Structure formats: C-alpha cells, structure tokens
Structure 1
Amino acid sequence: MNDKIQTFLDMLDHPLKQEMIEVVNIISNANSKIEGDIKWGGPSFSFKGDMATINPKIKNYVIVIFHKASLLNNAFGFLEEQTKGKAYAKFYTMEDVRKHADNLKKAVNAWVTLMENS
C-alpha cells in the first residue's frame, strides 16, 4: 500500500474500515505492477489504465468499482455487472472479503494480463 492510500485510510471514518484496508491490501499485493493512488474520492488502482476504485462514501459495504469490467471475462463469481461496462464488488463483512480474496486477486491479475496483451 502506498503512502497516499495509507494516509487516506488512517484519516478515514468508516464502519467497515478494517474490511476496506484488507481489500486495499489484497488488490495492492495481487500484482506488483498495480499502482495505487487517491482518485475520485477513494483508493484507486491502475495498470496501463484505470482498473478499479473504492468508494468510501458508501457505508453499508465496501464497494470496489471495476471501471472496465466488460473487458474481463467475469468468471470470478463476485462481480455484479453494471451499466457502461462497469462491475461492482461488494463486501459486507470481513468474511465476505476473505471468501472472495482469491477471486479478487484473479480479477486484478486478469486486468494486468489484458493490459499487457493489448
């Protein structure tokens, strides 16, 4: 996790802060090519283009917005397709985070592979 994201999370008041930190760690550690920053009001991740952003304004769950999920083969079992090619990953509890950690890593690595091959 980079310093900007760490500082953002340190200052964040969110009922699912620990779950959000864990999601950030999973994404950040899934592939060393992923870069993190604060963009659109939350932790954002990219590699050769914007991949995903966490929206901390939503308090009922941790939401990861995959900006161009339509480019990925949604075989990960946890993404909810949305309009404009987006998909959401929603984590309501730490159990949800742990349950979908491997598939979250697979989605991140699928993005890296897609961007490397395009």
Structure 2
Amino acid sequence: MSREDVGDWMARYDNPMKPVVAEMRRLILDADNRIEETIKWQAPTFTYKGNMASFFPRAKKHASLMFHKGAVFEGDFPNLEGGGKEARSFKVADLKELKNKAEELQSICIAWCDQQDQ
C-alpha cells in the first residue's frame, strides 16, 4: 500500500467529515517527513517504525484519529482522550476546531517519531 492507495481511498470516502479528515491527513504528513501512510484496517494509517495512528472512518460527528500507543507519548497533549492501557483518540468536530488543535496534532506526530528514534 502506498500514498496513492490512500489517495484512492480518500476519493471513495463518503462521509460528512471528509474535509476534516483530509486536512488532518495533510497536517500529519506535513508535520514530519519521517511519517508514511498506508491503508490498514480499512482506513488511512500513519506509520513510522510502527503504527502511529489510524482514522476511524465511520464517525460522522467528528473526525477521529486513534493513536495506537497514545498513552506513552512524551509530552503534554490535552486533546489525546481515553483511559485505556495504550490507545488514545484525537477528535475534531470541524475545520475551525482543527485550526485550534493543529499545532498539538503536529506536535504529537513529531513526539512519536522522536521517541521511535531513541
């Protein structure tokens, strides 16, 4: 799977959150050139030395990105939600909210890559 596969997936993606998902995707890929993307679990998944995060494509009231090991990210990321052992969610209701959360989203992605390089 490649970036072209994700582009094909996005072209077929029929969801009211598509503009938000597309902008989140752009922000993540622009955050750090170490990040790659693929389709896993029938959704865009971002990777760097392991699975970093996957979209939950069925959500219709917000764009939901699951960080597979979000509980172990070093740093203060108040928008990573959840109380499980490993996974955390990052949810965005619209493009305006994403604009306010964009810096944190990109910081989370950079933190993942930096931790993977340690």
Q: What range is the shorter-chain TM-score in?
A: over 0.9
Cα distance, 1:63 vs structure 2: 0.3
1:37 paired with 2:42, answer no
Retained in 2: the 8 A contact 1:82–1:88? no
* Structure 2 residue aligned with 1:61: 62
2:9 maps to 8
Residue 114 (structure 2) pairs with residue 113 (structure 1): yes
Shift of 1:100: 0.6
- Please list every run of 5 or more consecutive structure 2 residues that lacks an aligned counterpart in the other structure: none
Matching residue of 1:52:
53
Alignment length (residue pairs): 117
Q: Distance in 2 between matches of 1:74 and 1:110?
A: 8
Quote how far apart the aligned CAs of 1:96 are. 1.3
1:62-112: CA deviation from partner (whole Å, max 9, x where unpaired): 000000012103512211023131100001111111111111000000000
Counterpart of 2:85 in structure 1 is 84
Percent identity of the aligned residues? 26
SS in 2 for 1:107: helix
* Aligned-CA RMSD value: 1.3
Q: Distance in 2 between matches of 1:98 and 1:90?
A: 13
Distance in 1 of aligned mates of 2:52 and 2:58 = 19
| SS of alignment partner, residue 81 of structure 1 | coil
Matched-pair contact (CA < 8 Å) for 2:75–2:111:
no
Give the 4+ runs in structure 1 shifted more than 4 A: none
TM-score (norm 2): 0.94
When normalised by structure 1's length, the TM-score is 0.94
